[in-house]
Homo-oligomer: A and B are copies of this chain.
Amino acid sequence: MKKSRDTPGSPMIDARHIGPPTRRAFLVGAASALGAAAAHALLAPWPGRAADVPVDPTRVPGAPATDYGRRSTFEHARRLATPQRSRTPLQALHGIVTPSALHFERHHNGVPFIDPARHRLLIHGLVTRPLILTMDELKQFPSTSRLAFVECAGNGGREWQGPAGVTVQDTHGLTSVSEWTGVPLATVLREAGLRPEASWMLAEGSDAAAMTRSLPLARMDTALLCYAQNGEPLRPEQGYPLRLLVPGWEGNTCIKWLRRLKLVSAPRMTREETAKYTDLMPDGAARQFTFEMDAKSVITAPSGGQRVRKPGYVEIRGLAWSGRGRVGQVDVSVDGGRSWRVAQLQTPVLPACHTRFRLDWRWDGREAVLQSRCTDETGYRQPARRELVALRGVNSYYHYNAIQSWKIDERGDVHNVQV
């Protein structure tokens, strides 16, 4: 198996599926052909071409400071992108913060191109003072920041039908964490003045899908109108210049490119809460408005597509989270769920945020099935696959949160299995 330098996680583990993007290789090639100094400066790897690494870096003056940094020439972890989604390479990340450049994407008709100076938020419907706010006006309001995950309701959806993904990026890559900054929704709604009959809110994006969801006002107490992500303004694919964040709720409720909030007295049964984002049960009924993301966890190292290079010490590393609050405990099994040990949680453990867990393990070189199980602070425990399927059948696409099993074979290769 090819050894890849860009494999974080356990160093006893090799990774497939993270390679230099072919588009980049193409462009660098094309730029070399151009041979122009200006293009070279921007296309140049940082701080140099791999072939030009000095034998002794202490003998060569280094590169000067720059105004906006880039990652090393030697690092290639990337989102796996199709036109309407891209997945975070969880197997390549450490801690809990997702770099904004690697935050997963899901859009329903592409990333719109919006001038923040022309963007407006309309608040109307059952309010006493309809408002049209510029971005500057929104940023005048008292602000707050918090770390929170955003997870697509469809994260792991292909696993309902059996083991589908090879890597944890495939199976769980539609969740990411940022420090989000914005204005509490409640503050802006107070400014608009809610009428007594207002009980739901229609939130609409200004993308070409005009993505729209109905949201119950009674449960919007932690919702934020966000304009910043990890310190900087939102990235375009994350809703620039304005998105809704409903911490712990399925990602599609966190309307991106937010342009309109209409206060209403009942849900409006939009496409995204009828044809999509409902869960078909075995009896033919559909669960609707399944907003909170249930407790979930996954081992990111060793994980699918990696290899444990030799028997001996391995730090098992993973992520756990719950849309209903804090992670209470994470248990890890190395025998397919027969026995469990309690993992160590990285502090601070924050509500509606990924929590990094770690557990010391000694691999004896024999086949092993690794699992993790999250129990959140409400006492809810992440189900085994058979428990989830017994309850919900396999007709759903959304809200798959079963325990993930990774089988390590005797060669050390790690495979996605369902036990």
Contact assessment for A95 and B181 in the assembled complex, using a CB-CB cutoff below 8 Å: yes
Q: Does A303 contact B (CB under 8 A)?
A: no
Q: Which of B62, B84, B109, B141 contacts A111 (CB 8 A)?
A: B62
Closest to A56 in B: B206
Q: Does A249 contact B (CB under 8 A)?
A: no
Task: Give the shortest distance, in Å, between A207 (CB) and chain B (any CB).
Answer: 6
How many interface residues does chain A have, given as a range?
35 or more
A62 and B31 in contact, given A71-B232, A94-B181, A348-B350 (Cβ under 8 angstroms): no
Chain B binder among A99-107, A264-272, A335-343:
A99-107
Q: Which of B21, B92, B105, B139 contacts A65 (CB 8 A)?
A: B105
Contact assessment for A231 and B317 in the assembled complex, using a CB-CB cutoff below 8 Å: no
Q: Which of B54, B179, B240 contacts A97 (CB 8 A)?
A: B179
Q: Which of B77, B102, B233 contacts A71 (CB 8 A)?
A: B233
Q: Which of A's residues lie within 8 Å of B, judged by CB?
A: 5-6, 8-12, 21, 23, 26-27, 30-31, 33-34, 36-39, 41-43, 46-48, 50, 52-54, 57-75, 77-86, 92-103, 105, 107, 109-118, 134-145, 179-181, 206-208, 210, 227-228, 230-233, 235-237, 240-241, 257, 313, 315, 317, 346, 348, 350, 356, 358, 360
User: What are 26 A-B pairs at a CB distance below 8 A?
Assistant: A11-B137, A12-B136, A23-B41, A34-B34, A34-B38, A39-B39, A47-B236, A57-B257, A58-B210, A61-B208, A65-B81, A65-B85, A66-B105, A67-B79, A69-B100, A69-B103, A72-B236, A94-B145, A94-B227, A94-B228, A95-B180, A97-B230, A97-B231, A140-B315, A143-B358, A230-B230
